[in-house]
Amino acid sequence: MKQLIKYPLLAAALLLASCSDSKTSTLSLEGDTRVEAITVSGYEGVIDHTPRTISVNVPADFDLSVMKVDAISLSEGASCSLPAGTVFNATVPRSITVTNGDVQSVYTMSVVHDNVEFLSFTLDGQYHGTIDNSARTILVFVPLDAYVSAMQATFTVNAGAVVTPGSGAVLDFSEPVVLKAVCRTATADYTVTVVKDEMSQAPKAFVGTASDAYSLGDEASAACRWMLENVPNSRYVSVQQIIDGDVKLDDFTMVWCHFDFTDWPGQMWDSRDHFNAYWLRGGNILASRDGARYINDVWRIARDQQSPNNMFGGDSYETLAYDLGFTITGHEDHAIYAGLPTDADGRVLLVGAGCANSNRTLQWGADWDPYGSPEGWAERTGAKALASGHDYDVNRVTIAEFEPYEALKGYQSGTVITIGTPAYEWYNPNGVPNPYYENIVALTKNSINYLCK
C-alpha cells in the first residue's frame, strides 16, 4: 500500500517539473513606453511622465477643432495611436496610447488657449475682492472711513501670468485702477474698483447646490450675483466643497442659503453635520426660499426639528395683478426692517403688479396641530415670529428668527433668520421693472448685517 501512494506522487512531481521547463513565456516586457517630445500645429507640448499628461498652450484665438501632430518622439522601439501627421479635434482632451512589445502606457493630452485669470485679490491684507474673470473686473468693498488713496494690493494669478503693477504694490484706488496681465500670447486689462460701503466686512458665503455660481438655477443665481457684486468680503461656496472638506463653514461669520425649488433633501443631507456643527458653535445662517426647509432634522435648528408646515408653489410663474409683500405688525422695530417703508396696512412691499412670481411659500400655520397657537408654535420650535403674510394674520409666520442659546455646553449657538414669504423673490422672468426691488435689497442687507453683528 505504501508503494501505491509513493510512486504516483513522484510522477506528479516529475510532470510539474517537465511543464515548468517547457512552458517559457513569450511576452515582450522590456520596452519603455514614454512620449519624449511632441509638437502640435507648431506648439510644443509640456510632458509630465508621472501622471502621464501632456499640455499644449496655443494663442487665445487659435482654432482647436482642426490640429495636426507635427512630430512625436517616443521611447526606442515604441509606436503610438497618434503618430506624426494625424489631424484631430483638440476641443476635448485626447488619449495617446504608447505601445512597445506587450507593454502599453496611456498619456492624456490637453490643448488649451493661453489665458489670464486672477485667483485672489486683497487690499491692505483684509479687504477681499470679488473677481469676474469673464468681465475682467475686480470689485472691492471697504469701510466708509477707509483711506483708499494708498492701499497695498496683493493677488495671485494663474501659472505663467505676469501682472503690472505687481502684487504688493501700493496704489491709489480713489478712482478705478487698471492692471495689465500677460500670459504668453494672452493679454488682458483688469479694472479694479473700490467702493466705500456701510456693510459689515466680516467674511460671508453664498452657499449653492451647483459646482459654481454660474451654474445655479435662475432664482438662486439672481440672488447670488447680487451678493457677490454688492456685499463686502463675500464668496460663493458649493455644498459639495463643504462635504469634501475643501471649504470650512467656520471661516465665515454668516452664510446665506437661498435655494431654488429643488429635490428634497438631495445633496444637502450629506452636509447636515457640517451645518449643524457650524450653527452649534455660533455660525449664523440666512435661510430663505427653500433654504428655510433645512432647519428641521437636516440642520437640527428648530427645537421640534420640523420644517415650516405650510409649503407650496414654486414650480411655475404667474403675472401678479397686485403689489405683493408681507406684514410686520408688532415687529416694526426689528433691525432687519430698518429704513424699510410700509404701506397703510403695515406691509413691506417687495414685488410690484405686472412682475412674474412663482408664489413659493414656506410659512408656519401657528394655530395648526401640533402647535395650536402662536405661543405653542414659539415654544415647540424655539423661534420668534417676525412677519406674517400679505394680509396680517398672527397665525401665519413668514419670517422667523432662531435666537442664540447654549445648545452645546460652553458654546452659544448662532442666529438663524428664515424668510419664507412668496414676495421675497429675486428672479423676474417677464422683465417688467420691479418698483420695490430696492426693498428686497434693503431687507437682505439688513439681515446680513444683523447676522454679522
Could you read off the pLDDT of 361-420 as tens digits, one per residue?
999 999 999 999 999 999 999 999 999 999 999 999 999 999 999 988 889 999 999 999
List strands edge to edge, sheet with 94-100.
46-48, 53-58, 103-113, 94-100, 79-80
pLDDT in the model for residue 407: 86
pLDDT less than 50: residues of the chain:
1-22
pLDDT in the model for residue 265: 77
pLDDT in the model for residue 202: 93
pLDDT in the model for residue 10: 44
pLDDT in the model for residue 60: 84
Residue-wise pLDDT tens digits, 201-231 = 999 999 999 999 989 999 999 999 999 999 9
Architecture of domain 35-113: Sandwich (2.60)
**Within this chain, domains 118-196 and 204-451 share the same CATH topology:** no
The residue count for the chain: 453
d(CA 81, CA 95): 8
Helices marked H in 246-350 — which ranges?
272-280
- Kindly give the interhelix angle for 218-230 and 437-451, rounded to the nearest 10 degrees: 70
What is the grid cell recorded at 1? 500500500
13 within 8 A of 21, measured Cβ to Cβ: no
Report helix, strand and coil shares of the chain as percent, to nearest 5: 20, 35, 45
pTM score of the predicted model: 0.72
- Strand 87-88 relative to strand 67-74, pairing: antiparallel
SS3 category, 129: coil
pLDDT in the model for residue 425: 97
d(CA 373, CA 396): 10
Burial track 16-35 (b if 16+ CB lie within 10 A, e otherwise): eeeeeeeeeeeeeeebebbb
428 within 8 A of 434, measured Cβ to Cβ: yes
The hierarchical CATH code for the domain 118-196 is 2.60.40.2340
d(CA 375, CA 377): 5
Q: Mark residue 399 as left, alpha or beta (left: phi above 0; alpha: psi -120 to 50; beta: remaining).
A: beta
Burial of 175 (0-12, 13-18, 19+ CB in 10 A): exposed
Residue type, 48: D
CATH classification for the domain delimited by 204-451, as one of 3.30.420.40, 3.20.20.60, 3.40.190.10, 3.40.50.880: 3.40.50.880
197 within 8 A of 144, measured Cβ to Cβ: yes
pLDDT in the model for residue 408: 85
- Strand 399-402 relative to strand 416-419, pairing: antiparallel
User: In this structure, how many other beta carbons lie within 10 angstroms of the beta carbon of residue 277?
Assistant: 14
d(CA 152, CA 121): 10
Which DSSP letter does residue 223 get?
H
Phi/psi of residue 275, each to 5°? -70, -40
Phi/psi of residue 67, each to 5°? -130, 165
pLDDT in the model for residue 246: 96
pLDDT in the model for residue 267: 87
365 within 8 A of 358, measured Cβ to Cβ: no
Mean pLDDT, the chain, rounded, equals 92
Domain boundaries of the chain, sorted by first residue = 35-113, 118-196, 204-451
259 within 8 A of 209, measured Cβ to Cβ: yes
